[in-house]
Amino acid sequence: MTAGLDTDPDLLDLLGQTGLGRPETAVPLTHEGRNAAWCGITSTGARIFAKRVAGRAAVERSVRFEQLAPARPLTPPLLAHADDLLVFALVDAENANGLAGDDGLETAHAERMGAAVAELHRLGSGTPEAPLLPTSADLRRLPLASFVAASAGELAFWSLVQPDTEMHAAVDVLRRHPAGVPARPIHGDLRLDQFLVGGDQVWLTDWEEFRFGDPARDIGAFVGDWVLRAALAVSNGVDELGHDRFLERFTGEMDRVRPFLHAFRAGYRQVREWDEHQCVRAAAYAGWHMFERLNATAAASVFLTALHRAAAGIGRAALLRPERFLTVLGLR
């Protein structure tokens, strides 16, 4: 189902000002996001995807990317923007996360995703921007307003993170841009559900966190998404499984998803160098990505399952000792 953005007066004004017409025939969204959105065909025949984002800064980052790579087929073209609205050309595609869940994603798709991310990373270099990571001080404290608004699942998750000084130190290391590594254009919020797949074409979407930073951030996020998928596919009966049985099943799930990680690496290497130091940082980012996604899951939960705690343990291990996990994570 699509959200009701097709009747939003701000969107109607934007579409009118840019000559795109008015929303008419709706097309079901292939993936529901957290933002109000509408996709379909307008009165002028334009096929569009429109969404409201979290403020003007998110729009400005999306526009920055469009200006950096206007002629490259990395993403559906940005047709119009204003305030907190973005309007893109609608492409005939499905969300990669949904395809993966239905076993419809192929390793050839993952290879093209790797090539697309490498194309992004070679668009130029710039000054490193603020990293999308908390400080160790942020991880030690929970503001009162956040505490009051938190779900029980988030508070349980926070109880894992707050006292973990080793993890805090590892995140502080990731916050520092690595010496000698040029800051490259990065997506900044890379997940499997940010990719669209249509036939042989792959598009990368959602540029609200676009910036110049460490390319390992994007690589690690892609890997971390697959590792979390493998961990959560094991079983919700982790308590009954026991530690050894859980690891056995997790290893089996990693064997199943690793071809996608190898394909991503192969696609990336066709376009851009894949070096050892970048791989170590990417493994650490993969661990952090798992924490980020688990926290997002906890926001809608009344408790953390044993499975979620086990997945957090895997993420922590990769974050603290990334050099030990390069082969397991398909980075080597």
Predicted confidence (pLDDT) per residue in 5-52, tens digit:
788 899 999 999 999 999 998 887 766 666 788 999 999 999 999 999
Band of the pLDDT at 263, cuts 50, 70, 90? Answer: very high
Give the CA distances from residue 4 to residues 12, 36, 56, 202, 263, in Å, rounded to whole numbers and listed in that order: 12, 7, 21, 27, 38
Span between the terminal Cα atoms of the chain, in Å? 41
| Separation between Cα atoms, residue 57 and residue 321, nearest integer Å | 35
Q: Which residue has the higher pLDDT, 200 or 206?
A: 206
Residue 246 has pLDDT above 90, yes or no: no
- H/E element, 212: strand 211-213
CA dihedral 101, 102, 103, 107 (to 10 degrees): -60
Strands 23-26 and 195-198: unpaired
pLDDT of residue 35: 75
What is the percent of the chain where pLDDT is above 70?
95
Mean pLDDT, the chain, rounded, equals 90
Band of the pLDDT at 278, cuts 50, 70, 90? Answer: very high
Average confidence (pLDDT) over 140-169: 92
Average confidence (pLDDT) over 52-65: 93
Q: DSSP per residue over 19-72, as a string?
A: T---EEEE---SS--SS-EEEEEETTS-EEEEEE-SSHHHHHHHHHHHHHSTTS
Average confidence (pLDDT) over 178-195: 94
Predicted confidence (pLDDT) per residue in 80-124, tens digit:
999 999 999 999 999 999 999 888 999 999 999 999 999 999 999
- H/E element, 322: none
Q: Which of 187, 248, 249 is nearest to 220 (CA)?
A: 187
pLDDT of residue 238: 57
pLDDT of residue 36: 86
Predicted confidence (pLDDT) per residue in 293-330, tens digit:
998 888 888 888 888 888 999 999 999 999 999 999 99
Residue 124 gets the label, from left (phi > 0), alpha (psi -120 to 50) or beta, of left
pLDDT of residue 175: 93
Average confidence (pLDDT) over 285-296: 93
Displacement of CA 183 from its chain's centroid (Å): 19
What is the percent of the chain where pLDDT is above 90?
71
Residue 1 has pLDDT above 50, yes or no: no
pLDDT of residue 226: 97
pLDDT of residue 241: 65
Band of the pLDDT at 163, cuts 50, 70, 90? Answer: very high
pLDDT of residue 71: 67
Residue 3 has pLDDT above 60, yes or no: no
Predicted confidence (pLDDT) per residue in 125-152, tens digit:
999 998 889 999 999 998 899 889 999 9
pLDDT of residue 132: 87
Residue 190 has pLDDT above 80, yes or no: yes
Residue 237 has pLDDT above 90, yes or no: no
